[in-house]
Amino acid sequence: MKSRLIRAWSRAKNAAAFAAVGAGIGGLFSKSAASSGAALGALVGATIGEKRASVGPISEKITDEASGIVSSDE
């Protein structure tokens, strides 16, 4: 359950940030482009949030092993 919440939070956070960026860039051209830019930005942000949340614990473990840090849960 915790991993599902973390994944949902990551998707939402990235979707909001990318939607704002997309709307800002699209807004330089027109209102219609701002709306489309926000939608595309949210889609990209949610996709990145999904990938980043699913790879996070694995990448942390690899980084810790590479640096020689051993966690206490092993």
Decide: pTM greater than 0.75: no
**What is the distance between the alpha carbons of residues 36 and 23, in angstroms, rounded to a whole number?**
7
Do the Cβ atoms of 34 and 23 come closer than 8 Å?
yes
pLDDT for res 74? 47
| pLDDT for the residue 26 | 92
Q: Are 15 and 46 in contact (CB under 8 A)?
A: yes
Over the stretch 10-60, which tens digit does the pLDDT of each residue have?
A: 788 888 888 999 999 999 999 899 999 999 999 988 888 777 755 555 545
**C-alpha span between 74 and 22 (Å, rounded):** 43
**Which amino acid type is present at position 32?**
S
